[in-house]
Amino acid sequence: MTPLWQQSAVSLARAVRNGELRAAEVATAFLARIAALDGTLHAFLGVDAERVLAEASALDQRADRSTLGPFAGVPIAWKDNLVRCGERATAGSRMLENFVAPYTATTLARLEQAGATLLGRTNLDEFGMGSTTENSAFGPTHNPWGESLVPGGSSGGSAAAVAADLCSLAVGSDTGGSIRQPAALCGIAGLKPTYGRTSRYGLIAYASSLDCVGACARYVEDLALWLDVCGGNDPNDATSRSDTPAGDAPTLAALQQRRDLRTLRIGMPWQLNGPGLEDEVAASMQSAVEVLRGLGAQVHECSLPAVSYAVPTYYLLAMAEASSNLARYDGVRYGLQRPGGGRIEAMIAASRSAGFGAEVKLRVLLGTFALSHGYQDQYYGQALRARELLRAEFAQAFEQFDLLLCPTSPAPAFPLGSHRDDPLAMYLCDALTVPASLAGLPALSQPCGATADGRPIGMQWMAPAQRDDLVLQAAHAFERHTSHHLRRARP
């Protein structure tokens, strides 16, 4: 029999609803696995086992099991920049080390309503700023494929937890690749929905015009179910799209309708499929293309010239928005407070100096400079214009192609500490993921190969806005005809 922790969220929920499994039984199995493995991985920042078991047992007490939700009893983790009432929410920062949330993020509330068992909070780069999960104030997360390797970031804790089968699905946030890149480095699937498709209410803000709540899982069908449950309009979020009403659930059903890729036209922008890729990444992509063609897809090269500006555009916009969003952490209203000798300016400076880590300070300083008088149009304004140019080029590409495809990361997982003193090399880790973020498009990473020493390699699907169903269908068809997603680092 397949162990519980190797089963999909869809199959676990079905078994709980049918009475074949009890939610408490599932929770106990996953809690035991966390206790055995997370001491070395450090994927979690907090797991309240007593609360988890109490909530799972309460679900089991329901008299009518047919009314249990679509995620009944499924163990799900969440990135520690999403708030849950009564739980700490640190965003990986000393600034919020002792903050206890007074309300619950919409995404987590919808999972609770769907019957999910919320396991605990996962590690992240501080405030989501990083690509390796080394910038957490509470220590780095290790990749399940090698304890000396980074898991990617900033949702590295969520990706590592799924890859090590410590949970069936993990919620995260994706600003410039923070779900997709760690999913690729850990050998699982990760979805960034269309901007506004999922609510940001309860997400601790980094860059508000880019932040998306997404999820990672081993199986694409689990991501489709998550989107059906958590997607849709939310009146608490002004950026939530009104054309995707909550409760509409077509995505999971649509997966079963497409068993191959006939009629689909797939474009491969050469700017994202050649320059800077490691040889094994390029070779895995070529093998994946052969599979796609075998499934009936038409695959052709195309061009997106403006992606050459994507990395500087993204970092200018993200840093500028971060400097604005993080201005609220002043030691007055909430967060860490340090004395200032009776002077308010000194107290604010002392609190922010002690509360923020080096990477956050760097980005806040650069963002503040980009918004400063005399430079705002030269930097921030120019970045906004470059973003519109990229959006226009994506729109033109989608007149010819249904989907775009490229690697998720130019390189597989690399050693911890190897990029720590080279910010530019770190920022270039996001070169292939930030274009979809800037354009607000749905994008999904899934495993497509491995290096000679076993490190996972991922590829990324991109579709027009609101065609999240299309990236899920294409990824599911590829998954059905390959076995990359079944490779596991831990027994």
Residue of 131, 158, 168, 178 with catalytic role: 178
User: Out of 8, 79, 93, 136, which one is annotated catalytic?
Assistant: 79
Q: What percent of the chain has pLDDT over 90?
A: 88
- Segment 228-240 shows an average pLDDT of 95
Instruction: Quickly tell me which residue has 């992240």 as its tokens.
Output: 124
Structure tokens given for 452 = 């000679």
Q: Encode pLDDT of 50-88 as tens digits.
A: 999 999 999 999 877 778 999 999 999 999 999 999 999
Report pLDDT for 426: 81
Query: Please, what's the b/e burial string for 41-50 (b: 16 or more CB within 10 A of its CB; e: otherwise)?
Result: bbbbbebbee
User: What pTM value is reported for the model?
Assistant: 0.97
Task: Yes or no: say if 207 and 318 are a contact pair by the CB < 8 Å rule.
Answer: yes
Average pLDDT over residues 291-299: 97
Q: Does position 300 have pLDDT exceeding 60, yes or no?
A: yes
Residue from 8, 93, 131, 154 carrying the catalytic annotation: 154
Residue 284 has pLDDT above 80, yes or no: yes
| Residue with tokens 């274009």, as numbered in its chain | 435
Which residue type does 173 have?
Answer: S
Token pair 């680092």: residue: 489
Q: Is the predicted pLDDT of residue 330 greater than 90, yes or no? A: yes
Could you give the CA distance from residue 405 to residue 268 in angstroms, rounded to a whole number?
Answer: 5
Residue 433 contacts residue 180 (beta carbons within 8 Å) = yes
Q: Per-residue pLDDT for 316 more than 70?
A: yes
Q: What is the pLDDT of residue 245?
A: 56
Q: What is the mean pLDDT of residues 174-188?
A: 98
Q: State the Cα–Cα distance between residues 428 and 307, nearest whole angstrom.
A: 13
What is the number of helices (H) and of strands (E) in the chain?
A: 17, 11
The domain ranges of the chain are 4-264+443-458+466-486
**C-alpha span between 121 and 73 (Å, rounded):** 17
Rounded to the nearest integer, the mean pLDDT of the chain is 95
* Res 394: pLDDT: 98
Tens digits of residue pLDDT in 100-119: 999 999 999 999 999 999 99
> What pLDDT does residue 373 have?
84
Cβ 350 vs Cβ 339: under 8 Å: yes
Average pLDDT rounded to a whole number, residues 385-407: 98
| The pLDDT of residue 246 is above 60 | no
HSE, CB side, 13 Å, CA atoms: give it for residue 376: 5
Query: Is 372 part of the annotated catalytic residue set?
Result: no
Rounded CA separation 366/362 (Å)? 6
Which CATH number applies to 4-264+443-458+466-486: 3.90.1300.10, 3.30.56.10, 3.40.640.10, 3.30.70.580? 3.90.1300.10
CA 245, CA 2: separation in Å to the nearest integer? 37
Tokens of 292: 């796609």
Residue 376 has a pLDDT of 87
**pLDDT grade for 253, boundaries at 50, 70 and 90:** confident
pLDDT top residue among 94 and 332: 94
- Is residue 154 annotated as a catalytic residue, yes or no? yes
Q: Which pairs count as long-range contacts for 248-253, CB under 8 Å and 24+ apart, including other chains?
A: 249/70, 250/469, 251/224, 251/225, 251/227, 251/468, 251/469, 251/472, 252/10, 252/221, 252/224, 252/225, 252/228
Q: Is 361 a catalytic residue?
A: no
